[in-house]
Structure 1
């Protein structure tokens, strides 16, 4: 592979400087200056795209043929691989919402390792509950929940996933 071009010029390459990969998940390094990059896929399969900024996961999304995802300019790498709908998480997980900041809707992804009663709620910074997104038994698996905040004012909010003794919170920012 040729050397990486100077900063500000577009470059995308499979990590490890390979032309092709037989791996289940392919890591792609991207250099794209100020403009976002759009990724789309062909074929009948469903893919899972994970976008990173450095080592921090920014977004995780399923991607089918004909769909596209915008990689923000702040992201410098992503992975793409076949999506395994039967994948079951080992532990409870609560991902960062995407997009964040958002207006007026965002998606929150969480994982449940076993059949459990799950509660996903949103609170303002005063600790007042402003929305209950999930309050039901869930089978093991990963879930994406849409949050429409069009009735709320701009500001920082906290969302909390709770199941049994597991509790995790994250912040989200609504900008109108």
Structure 2
């Protein structure tokens, strides 16, 4: 199963084609298609030719899936760690195939039922590794939890990837600051990340995002927020890769958070 595509204007690539050859001989063509190829062939060496008949140079991506039933997601690690603001889940994948995202489920000693607590978007079909993060903030001190990670395909099919357990150990509450950022997950991110912040009392809060030139690129929140831990999403669609600064303001006080967009 071999798929390919171009990263340029499709109108400039109408003459582009893909050939699979059994040997270094154009007459020994096993398959041809202008966009997508399915083929079965024994193990061995094959030649792949991308033919642009208009003599132009085009950047392209090429993905090869080997085996009868390639895994939609190849999981390499899955961990759960108790942190100050909740249980931090982190998992790494080596590749993804038609992956819409990851569903996070949780159970505890009081119940054997699985409850959906979150969803993290995947990257579709890629052959490169990536690390994902999710923080379960709805936890109780000294209680143990089991987490189940599932991949969800673009067709809706689900597959269980792994299980981990952790006991949440709460830290002593901080009284050093009236309000502050608790971080963002994931970081680096693409194309969205979840910012967490806390306030000791109800406050007029504004959260804005700036690029490294100091230009405002997004206004995430403006209004009165109750005391406690809160979340707000930052979607960076259409923005270039780089460093971005989130600023949390309450009156004359402010807090900054550095975020890295990596496309």
Counterpart mapping for 1:123-134 below 5 A? 123-134=210-221
Asked whether the 8 Å contact 1:89–1:113 carries over to 2, the reply is: no
Distance 1:169 1:112, change over 3 A: same
Counterpart mapping for 1:76-115 below 5 A? 80=168, 90=175, 91-115=178-202
Deviations 1:71-127 (A, max 9, x none): xxxxxxx75259xxxxx9743121221100000010000001111110011000000
Asked whether the 8 Å contact 1:105–1:148 carries over to 2, the reply is: yes
- Gaps of at least 5 residues in structure 1 are 1-9, 16-26, 28-33, 47-57, 71-77, 83-87
- Gaps of at least 5 residues in structure 2 are 1-76, 95-103, 116-132, 140-144, 151-165
Higher relative contact order (CA 8 A, sep 6+): 1
The answer for the alignment partner of 1:61 in structure 2 is 136
Higher strand share: 2
**In 1, distance between residues paired with 2:207 and 2:230?**
11
Scaled by the length of structure 1, what TM-score is found? 0.56
Shift of residue 162 of structure 1? 0.7
Shift of residue 148 of structure 1? 0.9
**In 1, distance between residues paired with 2:148 and 2:137?**
10
**In 1, distance between residues paired with 2:138 and 2:107?**
7
Asked whether the 8 Å contact 2:199–2:227 carries over to 1, the reply is: yes
- Counterpart pick for 2:252 among 161, 165, 168: 165
Scaled by the length of structure 2, what TM-score is found? 0.39
**In 2, distance between residues paired with 1:110 and 1:68?**
26
Structure number with bigger Rg: 2
Counterpart mapping for 1:1-176 below 5 A? 40-42=106-108, 43=111, 60-62=135-137, 68=148, 80=168, 90=175, 91-176=178-263
Distance 1:165 1:98, change over 3 A: same
Asked whether the 8 Å contact 2:183–2:197 carries over to 1, the reply is: no
Distance 1:80 1:169, change over 3 A: same
**In 2, distance between residues paired with 1:127 and 1:69?**
39
Asked whether the 8 Å contact 2:194–2:231 carries over to 1, the reply is: yes
The answer for the alignment partner of 2:42 in structure 1 is none
Asked whether the 8 Å contact 2:199–2:229 carries over to 1, the reply is: yes
